[in-house]
Amino acid sequence: IMGIEKHEVLIGSERIKSAVEKVAEEINSYALSHGIKRMHVLWVADGALMFAADLLRALPRDLEIIVSSVRASSYGNSLSPAHEPVICGDIGQFKDCDVLVVDDVLDTGGTMRALLESLKSAGARSAKSCVLISKRILFPREVEADFKCFEAGSEFVYGYGLDFKGLHRNLPCICVFRENGKGRFVAGVLPDISEGISGQRSTGCSGSGAGCVLSRTCRSFGVFQKWKARYIYPDDRCGCV
C-alpha cells in the first residue's frame, strides 16, 4: 500500500477484520441472551468512525440497529489525556433504550465512564461499551470495556480512524508512533510488562532501576502524578526513582 512503508504497522487490516467479526458475534450473543431486538449504537466521533462502520456491517441483519454519534474527548492535540471528558450530543434521546457505546481507545476510562453515567441518568434501559483497543495502565481504570478487540501497551497508536494530530485516520491498519527510533509512551499506561528494560522477565520494581518497567514509566512520566494523583497509591510507585 502506497505510503504505508513509512508507518510502523502494529495491527494489520486482516487481524482487525477478524477481531471486529469476533466482537460482533459476542455482541449478538449478548443481545440474544438479554432479549434485545433493537440496539442503539452510539459511536464516539471522530476516532471510532472506521471501527463503528465495520462493526455495524458485521452485526447480524435480524438485530435492529439505530445509529447515532456523540463527540467526547479528553485528548485535544495531545498524545495523552489532558483534561476531563467533554461530551457534546443529545444523550436524552436514549431513555428506555438499549445502548452500545463504541469508542476507539480506552485508557483511563474517563470518557467512557462519563458517557455511561450520562446514559444511565437519561434513563437508558441498558448501556454497554465496546472499544477497538484497551490500553494496559498503571492505575485503577474508571470503567472497563464490556467488549474489546485488542489490548495494547503504552505506545501511541494511530490509523484505522485514530489520528496523530489530526492525520492518518484513513490508514487501513493500526500503526505505532515512533520518535527517534523509540516508542512514544502514553502517560500512566504500561508497556508490555512481560519483559523489563534489560529483556529479562520483570514482575515489579527491583529497587535498583535495572530492568524495571515501572522505573521506565515513572521516570518518563512523572508529570502524570500531578495529572490524576488520585489514581496513584504508595504501593504502586516505583521504588527506584
SS3 of 21, please?
Answer: helix
| Helix 49-58, helix 13-33: angle, nearest 10 | 60
CB 131 within 8 A of CB 100: no
SS3 of 151, please?
Answer: strand
* Nearest of 100, 29, 30, 20 to residue 57 by alpha carbon: 20
The CA-based angle 4-132-175, given to 5 degrees, is 20
CB 150 within 8 A of CB 19: yes
CB 186 within 8 A of CB 155: yes
- Which residues are marked as active site? 107
> Which cell numbers in the block locate residue 56?
455495524
